Amino acid sequence: MNEIEFKRFVGKLVHYYNRKTIPTTQSLNIWLQEVERIPAEALDFIFNHIKQGDSFPGNLPKAMRDGWQEWIRANGKSNGGFVECEDGCDRGILFVWHTVHCTGFAFRCARCNQSDLIGIPAAKYGDLVRRGYERQ
């Protein structure tokens, strides 16, 4: 998503929870770095995921990534057509955690290519490990 889409999303949440204060520009910029890889098409789903909570998320980027992973699971090919992959992906998706940046991401598994989700990058697990990721 781009900056405009992100700020629109945050603004909607601020209004949903009727918050009296809005996040600072500094916070928004830091948060955006954490979530800019999430495709804009997932934002409606993520909004519905986050609004199940009783209050504005204490860690918005984390809440957005959780919602994004739910979206990926919900939009992945659903049933039996998937074969076991030696990279251990989940229906063609690799859920990984960056050990230095402490951020979670999802990639399409480039070994089995079993997911045709658009909007997320493809990678092989071994290459992700070399880039500092590990399985979630």
Residues that bind Zn ion (CB under 5 A): 85, 87, 89, 109, 111-112
* CB closer to Zn ion out of 34 and 90: 90
3-state secondary structure of 129: helix
List the structure tokens of 12: 């909607």
Runs of H (alpha helix) within 17-55: 25-35, 43-50
* CB closer to Zn ion out of 14 and 112: 112
What minimum distance in Å lies between the beta carbon of 73 and Zn ion?
15
What minimum distance in Å lies between the beta carbon of 126 and Zn ion?
12
What minimum distance in Å lies between the beta carbon of 50 and Zn ion?
29
What minimum distance in Å lies between the beta carbon of 133 and Zn ion?
15
* CB closer to Zn ion out of 49 and 111: 111
Amino acid at 9: F
Residues contacting 14, CB < 8 A, separation 6+: 22, 23, 56
Pairing type for strands 122-123 and 103-109 reads parallel
* CB closer to Zn ion out of 46 and 89: 89
